[in-house]
Structure 1
Amino acid sequence: MPITNLPYDGRLNGRAFDLRHEMTPQEKRLWYAYLRTYPVKVYRQRVIEHFIVDFYCPLARLVIELDGSQHYTEQGKEYDEQRTAILEQYGVQVLRFTNLDVDRHLDAVCAQIDSTIERRVAELRG
């Protein structure tokens, strides 16, 4: 059973606020074209544990991450794996897309987000 309230490090709230105002072009595109008006609440640059995730849908317990070039280094891959493992311990699923996915296949990205949210909500409502 997932934990209802996720832990967070309040010291990161200021940085999360800054990141909401400094989104990458791909984050802006996904947010303004789709997630901002999604039928269930999705937050951007949300603090969970000691991380700031790109997008979080609490109803589906789903994190959506957009990966830029820093995620493809060995250090970046290792960090992402550790972060995903910690988030999964809280019953949170992490859905990843590349920036290129958003640039070239936005409709497919949105469709996958939609189907994942629907599936997760159904699973969690059991």
Structure 2
Amino acid sequence: MSLIIHRNGDRATVSAPAEAFTGTVLISPVIVTPKPASIRSVDVSFAPGGRTFWHHHPMGQTLRVTSGMGLVALRGEAPQVIRAGDTVFIPPDVEHWHGATPTTGMSHIAFQEEPEGETVWLDAVSEDDYTLTPA
């Protein structure tokens, strides 16, 4: 097997699907590794107010915040503030959401192993959950 190099600009940035995101969110592919590896990664940019729906990952998810300030929350808990340079690990099958604050944008690179399935998308994050005072 030889190296796989994805050149900057070779793959399109797309708008995030309305069935899984609220607000203006752009997704740029980073990598989907060939088997037997199982890493999937995307670079996600959230405009103020943009966020994911509730979701979970069978093997967990890691987020590396690359710019701005955002929020991440587990179901039933107040959101936590995350900033550029922060790295967050969400354990396997734990329902969560992440995105920008109401007034600041945020970008992160999301990494997850997905050998047996992809992200499980659930319901939209309610305004009440989104606007809870951060912990």
What TM-score does the superposition give when structure 2 sets the normalisation length? 0.29
Rg (Cα) greater in structure: 2
What TM-score does the superposition give when structure 1 sets the normalisation length? 0.30
> Which has the larger share of strand?
2
Comparing both chains, which one has the higher relative contact order based on Cα–Cα distances under 8 Å and sequence gaps of 6 or more?
A: 2
> Which has the larger share of helix?
1
